Structure 1
Amino acid sequence: MTKTRITNPFKPSAGHLPPVLIGRDIILDDFQEGLDNGSGAPGRLMRITGARGTGKTVMLAEFRRMAEQQGWQTISETASAGMAQRLLEKLQPKKGNLSFSFEPSISVMSMGGSLGGVHYEKSRMPLTLRDAMSERLDALEKHDTGLLVTIDEAQAADRDDMVAIATTIQHLTSEDRNIAFVFAGLPSMTSKWLNDDVMTFLRRAQPERLGDVPLAEVSQAFTDTFAGTGMVLKDTPLDLATQATAGYPFMIQLVGYHIWRVAKRHHPQDASITVTVEDAEAGVRDALSRLGDTVHGPELDGLSPIDKTYLLAMAQDDGPSSTSTIAERMGKDARYASMYRMRLIEAQVIEERGYGKVDFAIPYLREYLREHAAYIRMTTGIVE
């Protein structure tokens, strides 16, 4: 008889569903209510924001799973050039020699060509995309189902693509069609798209900000998930694992994955494994190493040299930093430094901690900055 192979239940990679979606019950319930309550329900138009590693991609994947369970069709895209065209192709594939095209720029057309130079702007994409979605919905609604469209990394979308998609969704929503639209991205997408006069419709999207998970929920999730694979994680090893996550969703996956892997390697012959303190400590070390490569490094890569200067000034403190002290360390006045403080708060890299105080919002970023300070200064041209 073949022995069943037990695999690591944790999935610390982008977009993979974790074994337990802890701390997200309210958001999931809102989306489910949106599906149940019909066109116009708040949960059918939603925007998800959060820093890297807070689980935005995972939430979109779970929304698609929930919708598909109810017979809905789903279409997902990650924002990049040509996104609207790709959506169109997924909605209505080519038939014979008939093709569909997308003109990404707004075309300016003359009325009659000789009427005193009167012009108007016409975006052809929303109409084309609208027709394609309408045709798909015509077929779905006959069976009392609908269409869910999800967009990930929306802060990176081309404006023409977002105008096309937002306009299409707006028209279909006003027609009470059975459609849902969820877009997710870094916090910067909020100011980028919601303040665009052409896309005011997106301001109606229900905002959901993904933050840290309460440690009590993390602890219970670890206990249950390890037990589900025949391992025991309790007492001091459980406390070490829980505290190491700081409630950060991606770190929960990393810590769980590496502790489980270490324990399995240390006790390969044991039928029932109880995680030791040594297992937990080794797993946490491995998780911290991976966190720097997968979260801290990419996060810093997207920041300006002055943003990084601000963070390096903060990293000199063991806890919350005084904004006036940061400005002094940067050699700038408080007003100048405050512009970068607001930028970093909006990006959810740092957070306010009372009047005149800020701290890191991403776990272990302080330690990463200290370890890599010389390299960061050298590669960005920062001069002290």
Structure 2
Amino acid sequence: MIAIDEVKETPEIVNLASIYQIMVLKEYPINIMMTGVPKNVSELQNNDVLTFLLRSGRVPLGPLDLFDIKYRYQKAFERGNKEIDNNTLMKITKLTKGYAYAFQDLGYYVWQNSDNKVTEESVEKSIPLFKNDLFRNAYTKILSELSPTDRKFLFIMANCPKNIVEISYIREQMKKSSNYISQYRQRLMDSQVIVDAGYGKVTFSLPFMKDFLLEAAELYGIEE
């Protein structure tokens, strides 16, 4: 069993997949499991010499279930003999937006900033550290891998005064057709940066992504 994380269409991965195909044809007892962001997985599957990967099983992984996050936070604090009321538990659960890295990172800081009881103050102390980790360790990388048009789409969303943004608003700002906007909307949804928020509406799927984009624009002067 071969397991590869953060897969991309690199020469090494293409070569490995080609060798794997040969070994499967020769009926060797071998399996391969690869994980990665949807865009990178699609690029690998659509490589001209790896079309056999299109027949492989593909399991899309969405956000973590918020009920499950709440339960696991509760049990973790109980095991650590840390008291936490339901309102605080709900707050930290919602702050994660189901993002796996956020679930781990926020839980760590809230734990570190609390004694025998997790309080509102514990959470407030944790948020700046939590945001810094998200921005530095995850969002900077995510943004760097997007196309200029993807980024422009996101910056328009970030500058909109509403958290739920009308597609018509983005279309007007970009001065492009509905079909053009739909392509980039789908690309960003596939990359799990935004989610559908009702007919003709989208919103950010990741916690504090709006804040990150606004700060990035100011600090680095990038808006597309």
User: TM class, shorter-chain normalised?
Assistant: 0.7 to 0.9
Distance 2:27 2:178 in 1: 51
2:156 pairs with one of 313, 322, 327: 313
Render the CA deviation track for 1:74-125: whole Å, top value 9, x for unaligned. Answer: xxxxxxxxxxxxxxxxxxxxxxxxxxxxxxxxxxxxxxxxxxxxxxxxxxxx
The number of residues matched between the two structures is 223
Structure 2 residue runs of 5 or longer lacking an equivalent are none
Residue 317 (structure 1) shift? 4.2
Structure 1 partner of 2:90: 239
Compare the two structures and name the one with the higher strand fraction.
1
Mark the CA change 1:333 to 1:258 in structure 2 (over 3 Å): closer, same or farther. Answer: same
Counterpart position of 1:249: 100
Q: Distance in 1 between matches of 2:87 and 2:129?
A: 18
Mapped pair 1:276 → 2:119 = yes
Q: Structure 2 matches for 1:180-195, cutoff 5 A?
A: 180-195=31-46
Alignment gaps of 5+ in structure 1:
1-147, 268-272
**Any residues of structure 2 matched to 1:292-311 within 5 Å, and which?**
292-311=135-154
1:355 aligns with 2:202: no
Query: Structure 2: how far apart are the matches of 1:311 and 1:222?
Result: 31
**How much has 1:295 moved relative to structure 2?**
1.7
TM-score (norm 2): 0.87
The 5-angstrom pairing of residues 177-216 of structure 1 reads 177-216=28-67
Q: How big is the shift at 1:156? A: 4.6
1:229 corresponds, among 75, 80, 85, to 80
Residue 261 (1) aligns with residue 94 (2): no
Query: 1:180 offset after TM fit, Å?
Result: 1.9
Deviation at 1:170, TM superposition (A): 2.1
Shift of residue 302 of structure 1? 1.7
Letter of the 1:364 counterpart: F
d(CA) in 2 for partners of 1:330, 1:310? 8
Question: Distance in 1 between the 2:205 and 2:91 partners?
Answer: 21
Distance of aligned partners of 1:373 and 1:207 in 2 relative to their CA distance in 1, 3 Å threshold:
same
- Find the counterpart in structure 2 of residue 149 from structure 1: 2
Q: 1:361, 1:379 → 2: CA distance?
A: 21
Question: What's the offset of the Cα at 1:208?
Answer: 1.8
Q: Decide whether aligned partners of structure 1 residues 354 and 277 sit closer, same or farther in structure 2, where only a CA change above 3 A counts.
A: closer
Per-residue CA deviation, residues 173-219 of structure 1 (Å, 9 max, x unaligned), is 33443222111111112331222232122123221222211211111
> SS state of the match for residue 64, structure 2?
coil
Q: Secondary structure at the match of 2:50?
A: helix
Match of 1:290 among 112, 133, 158: 133
Instruction: Normalising by structure 1, report the TM-score.
Output: 0.53
Structure of higher CA gyration radius = 1
Deviation of 1:240 after TM superposition, in Å, equals 2.0
196-205 or 250-259, which moves further after superposition? 196-205
* Cα shift readout 1:105-153 (whole Å, capped 9, x = no counterpart): xxxxxxxxxxxxxxxxxxxxxxxxxxxxxxxxxxxxxxxxxxx212222
Out of 309, 328, 346, which is 2:172 matched to? Answer: 328
Opposite residue 150 of structure 1, the aligned amino acid is: A
Paired-residue identity, %: 30
- Calculate the aligned-residue CA RMSD, in Å: 2.3
Going from structure 1 to structure 2, the CA distance change for 1:237 and 1:361 (only over 3 Å counts) comes to closer
CA distance in structure 1 between the partners assigned to 2:55 and 2:174 by the alignment: 40
Q: Which letter maps to 1:153?
A: E
1:318: Cα distance to partner? 2.2
